[in-house]
Amino acid sequence: MKATLRAPASRAGAVRPVASLKAAATRVASIAGVSIASMAVTLAAHAGATVKLGADSGALVFEPSTVTIKAGDSITFVNNAGFPHNVVFDEDAVPAGVNAEAISRDDLLNAPGESFTVKLDAAGEYGFYCEPHQGAGMVGKVIVQ
Ligand SMILES: [Cu+2]
């Protein structure tokens, strides 16, 4: 890209190519801006931890059932087996001041690979469970440092 930009600038009276190059550069910049933005989203999604909803064996558990992340990181729950599942944070088992309902995913995840990501800012321990399978032991914990 740099080489392409330099060539017309060294030529005298090359007004039109420079103008169209400028437009092209603007287009490239805006395209680059878009890809940088989506890259940031991808990176954000990978910071933190991923928890499978249902073990590969089909067991109705969160896998892993305990994860540790840093404050401000996200945790992503991904449908794996035995769905539908959901992720409900226990209002009695979250740090003081955290709205358990606001960070929960009450709607059932029905599709293979469907995911739910939540960012946790307050340090402490967060207990959560899957409503349909809580009785079967599908419960977990996030430790936010
Ligand atoms: Cu479940």
34 has a pLDDT exceeding 80: no
User: What confidence category does residue 4 fall into, taking pLDDT thresholds of 50, 70 and 90?
Assistant: very low
User: Could you give the residue numbers annotated as active site?
Assistant: 85, 130, 133, 138
Domain boundaries, the chain: 17-46, 48-144
User: What confidence category does residue 59 fall into, taking pLDDT thresholds of 50, 70 and 90?
Assistant: very high
Q: Is 130 annotated as a binding residue?
A: yes
| CATH top-level class of 48-144 | mainly beta
Q: Is 46 annotated as a binding residue?
A: no
- SS3 at position 81: coil
Quote the tokens at residue 72: 């401000």
Cα 69 to middle of ligand 1, angstroms: 22
| b/e sequence 9-21, b meaning 16+ C-beta within 10 Å | eeeeeeeeeeeeb
Cα 111 to middle of ligand 1, angstroms: 13
Peptide bond connecting 17 to the previous residue in cis, omega within 30 degrees of 0: no
Cβ atoms of residues 77 and 116 within 8 Å? yes
Cα 141 to middle of ligand 1, angstroms: 14
- The mean pLDDT of 87-100, rounded to a whole number, is 98
User: What confidence category does residue 21 fall into, taking pLDDT thresholds of 50, 70 and 90?
Assistant: very low
d(CA 46, CA 113): 15
